[in-house]
Structure 1
């Protein structure tokens, strides 16, 4: 009887965390380390573009800024991945942004995002992008901010 109770408790302690992880744990939105980042974006609409940006702790990783037209992001962690959903209102309708984030956000990160437009904008119902960020250093100069990255 005692061994059955211990077995039941052991199984429960093993299974419970896995169900909690599988459903996702609410976490804060990741914050990238402030400083000079090299950002590479791949999207059907623009191809592949690489540029340098000076990021601060207040730069939102999903919307770029704290847009008052966007709702509070729903942020969940499942294992080492962070899932973010946020809805923004625009003059043209609603944008639903769904993103999968990975990385340490101190030296690198990757964002795979899908934006769904309701109604479709210019006939486009949705678009996607993959964004890779690489931390370059803690200081920014005016030459690197929002400029195309130089080939090194």
Structure 2
């Protein structure tokens, strides 16, 4: 089956029941998307499908309908996405395991809501768990990224 990931089309010879997460990690070697819980409760596996945040551990290849963007496709070291730059500036990551999912959820939020309130951020990010509890830094980084995207 053909899958478009980060702007590139790939022919994947895999069972249509395979979760997108494993196709990304094991077939395409895109390991930025993490396995956390396997039941779509922690958010570590969050990617975008046509700009919407989805949990790749529960999305089967055969059900995929749209272009996938992973953390590797969001920004590049020489041209970080505003959310990635804000994450660094606010030193959000501690252990870092959940951060790719956090960043992808935050980027999806900002595509839908350019000026989120604290409540909007908390609601949008509630499906992403951080064992290090950097939630205040996450919220501050999302606000900062919104300002960056607005050009102010």
- Larger C-alpha radius of gyration, 1 or 2? 1
Greater helix content: 2
**In which range does the TM-score fall when normalised by the shorter chain?**
under 0.3
Q: Which has the higher strand share?
A: 1
